[in-house]
Structure 1
């Protein structure tokens, strides 16, 4: 196994969630809707290993695991942006951040949250809520990153204005390249059980 791929596998195997000391939303810098203009896309670099807990999640939540639908990004209309902002904020307010170990007794357990959840649970609920609004699963991709030395999971939304991130650490909907994370891998559009490595930012043409 090549060193870079081996390192990526190790990082994904230990993927957890960055968190705040208070369990509230971290005060990351906010950006307005106007800042999304001139967005970027993630450059994909081929196969990546999925986080181990993801496989059990896929067996239990087949519809949320899926990334079926058109491979074209969703047109980011004013209405679509409002939906993203509304869902992101509503889920961040509805779910109280708490580790899987404290909630389920397992180190890493991907599931739709009730009252409590950690980062990937927030992302899963946001995907479920957006799918109810008619968003295609192929545009809603679970994505793992590194934040301050800890694993972190967000929902990446593929749009005509670039790849946007819905994050439990902030209510702002941001272009992925304008967030404070180092991204490693995300689900593959068209086959949600496959994951791909993330490279550099590519400007939207």
Structure 2
């Protein structure tokens, strides 16, 4: 409930959580071939590392998440391209990482900084799962193809492994504990 309050009123007293990172991690294998084809979508350089989440920006996150989820049919890479793992920008169908990539692209087109949009891998029911983590003043929020809700990462059912490093999107970092957002977060 506190998270819902913070989205409705971005400056509510109870803030979300941020992902603490704890050292280097291995990137998913298909990530590197994707980056050679789409380097701008792998970038996490430049811009603000944390976006000050104003009500209009909160609405924009929800709109992008819902829009992409409704437009793209979830299908495995095997079904769509005949390979086990192939990261790409989907047009009609794709799997979780493809959908997360499209959400990053859509937000970047709207002016969101790549430095605050991090591809993130987790486990769900024993399977790998990829989401887009958005670093905000209200905490690290997850845009996910399995729900239209935009949630604080620590309020999801996933076990998180790693995410792109801010400032160097080709490097990945292990995810540790949830750390409360300081009430004085300014988005810088």
With normalisation by structure 2, the TM-score equals 0.90
SS at match of 2:149: strand
Determine the C-alpha separation between the residues in 2 that align with 1:79 and 1:68: 24
In the alignment of these two chains, the number of paired residues is 176
**Aligned twin of 1:161:** 138
- Aligned partner of 2:127 among 135, 138, 150: 150
Does residue 195 (structure 1) correspond to residue 172 (structure 2)? The answer is: yes
The aligned runs of 1:22-61 (5 Å cut-off) are 33-34=4-5, 36=7, 37-61=14-38
C-alpha separation between the residues in 2 aligned to 1:200 and 1:62? 30
Deviation of 1:188 (Å) = 0.3
* 1:173 match: 150
Q: Is 2:6–2:138's contact at 8 Å kept on the other side of the alignment?
A: no
Shift of 1:31: 9.2
Alpha-carbon RMSD: 1.5
Number of the residue aligned with 2:71: 94
- Structure 1 regions of 5+ residues with no counterpart? 1-29
CA distance in 1: counterparts of 2:44 and 2:24, whole angstroms: 16
Segments of structure 2 that go 5 or more residues without pairing to the other structure are 8-13, 183-188
The residue that corresponds to 2:159 in the other structure is 182
Q: Distance in 2 between matches of 1:61 and 1:33?
A: 35
Q: Which residue of 2 aligns with 1:114?
A: 91
Structure 1 runs (4+) deviating above 6 angstroms are: none
